[in-house]
Structure 1
């Protein structure tokens, strides 16, 4: 029994026609009929009951058809993965992550992946949500770790990692630092420090103001370290999210949860990649990261 014969058989059933199946597979009708007959002879049972130009499946044919479809999908996946792993370009993994990300698990996942797959070259970039989305859209990264700001698209694998709590980091000299939590209303009189490139400042401000509901003034830092130093200097508060284990606050910083309507604000964090670019390394790295993070509730 050959995979080609299985493919011909599935085509005949899907098309409900020997003629259309033959055209679809670029062979003659007589050739596809001979292949189905050879398949039946090899199995020792009839699969198709022929009635002039029509046909129906025997119980064995129904069973064989249903299982053939799954096997053919697996074979095609195996073929595609083998081809991808055989290409030099596949021996690298390009990862994008949010510029404001500070969890320790990403570092641990990178270390574990590198130890397990030393043959894979890892390239890392960071950026704002929109910058990462553009990198993914134009194929300059393989996957991105970022927050969900859009409805999920069928063009991408939308691998949900966890819903994480939103916090603010602010100076111990700030009057709000003695509270158990802060609300968006509490924060309106304190500038909000956002981590963003100069080009994306308007986009980030618009999202935090109009989607998340942050009011007041906005300040910007190029990176997380600069943002934390601004918070230590009591210039404003820095929004952070608990995507895994956050580093210690430090003696001059308090980290407080942000509440809205009596509950802590939660954000959805995911790994995204293009479905057509799926490969073993992307899936393996994502599985490692997911294992190291707390699973989604």
Structure 2
């Protein structure tokens, strides 16, 4: 059995016509018919029932179509990656990751990935959710891991990683540390500290203000470390999501679950990448990361 015969068969089924399939494959109708006959002879089973200008797939034909299509897709991917390996001296996977995330799980996934694919170099770009979205659209990163705040069109894969639990980190000298959970109402009089890149302050503020109903008073810092120093100094609270392992806060800070309307706030995190630029390595890395999160 030849891959070319598989291709002819799949094309005929998807075109619904021997004539159109022959044109698409740049061979004659009689030649493509002979190839299907040879395929059936090789398999010793009938794949389709021919009726003048129409045909119907047998149960064996339906099975063969589904699996042949999957095999052809895999062959195409292997071919593309082989060419890419031959053309590139070094393959790079650029991952966008939120600034306010702990890197524990990401580093675990990278270590596992390097063990299997040492030929691929991984680079990490950090940013806000909106910043990472822009990087992805502009092709500056191959994959982004972040909360889903918008609906993506069909040009992108959206792969769910995990629902996160929302917490706030607050100074140990603050009276609120006596509470088992902190509510939105408890935080009304305090400043909200956000980790955000310059130029993206307004979009982050709008999200936390409108979607989560958090404080109207905001302070902006560039890194998680800076934010925690401000929290320890009792200058405000830091909203933070825990979607995996999160180390114990530094001395002087306590982390407490955040509630709204009597329920814990949960947010959904996804890996997102362009279908146009997808490849085997992206898909493998996302699977590894999801297993670690789970």
What TM-score do you get using the length of structure 2 for normalisation?
0.89
Q: 1:61 to 1:126 in 2, by over 3 A?
A: closer
Gaps of 5+ in 1: none
Q: 1:93 to 1:71 in 2, by over 3 A?
A: closer
1:269 matched to 2:289: no
Match of 1:277, SS? Answer: coil
Q: 1:234 to 1:56 in 2, by over 3 A?
A: closer
Q: Matches of 1:68 and 1:103 in 2, distance apart?
A: 40
Contact map agreement 1:162 1:268 (CA 8 A) in 2: yes
Deviation at 1:34, TM superposition (A): 3.0
Gaps of 5+ in 2: none
Deviation at 1:194, TM superposition (A): 0.4
Q: 1:46 to 1:289 in 2, by over 3 A?
A: closer
Match of 1:168, SS? Answer: strand
Q: Matches of 1:91 and 1:14 in 2, distance apart?
A: 35
The CA deviation string for residues 48-72 of structure 1, in whole angstroms up to 9 with x for no partner, is 5555545555665555445433433
Deviation at 1:263, TM superposition (A): 1.6
Q: Matches of 1:189 and 1:123 in 2, distance apart?
A: 40
Counterpart position of 1:125:
125
Deviation at 1:114, TM superposition (A): 2.9
Contact map agreement 1:6 1:68 (CA 8 A) in 2: yes
Contact map agreement 2:194 2:218 (CA 8 A) in 1: yes
Once the two structures are overlaid, the 10-residue window that deviates more, 19-28 or 235-244, is 19-28
Backbone CA RMSD of aligned residues:
2.4
Q: 1:282 to 1:172 in 2, by over 3 A?
A: same
Q: Matches of 2:66 and 2:114 in 1, distance apart?
A: 40
Q: Matches of 2:246 and 2:208 in 1, distance apart?
A: 21
Contact map agreement 1:84 1:90 (CA 8 A) in 2: no
Counterpart position of 1:112:
112
Q: Matches of 2:236 and 2:250 in 1, distance apart?
A: 16
Match of 2:97, SS? Answer: strand
Pairing of 1:7-156 with structure 2 (within 5 A):
7-44=7-44, 47-56=47-56, 61=61, 64-88=64-88, 91-156=91-156
Q: 1:108 to 1:35 in 2, by over 3 A?
A: closer
Q: Matches of 1:249 and 1:282 in 2, distance apart?
A: 32
The CA deviation string for residues 90-121 of structure 1, in whole angstroms up to 9 with x for no partner, is 71111110011125222222233334433221
Pairing of 1:217-236 with structure 2 (within 5 A):
217-236=217-236
Q: Matches of 1:222 and 1:98 in 2, distance apart?
A: 12
Number of matched pairs: 294
Q: Matches of 1:129 and 1:232 in 2, distance apart?
A: 25
Q: 1:54 to 1:151 in 2, by over 3 A?
A: closer
Once the two structures are overlaid, the 10-residue window that deviates more, 90-99 or 73-82, is 73-82
Deviation at 1:20, TM superposition (A): 1.6
Q: 1:232 to 1:137 in 2, by over 3 A?
A: same
Q: 1:273 to 1:87 in 2, by over 3 A?
A: farther
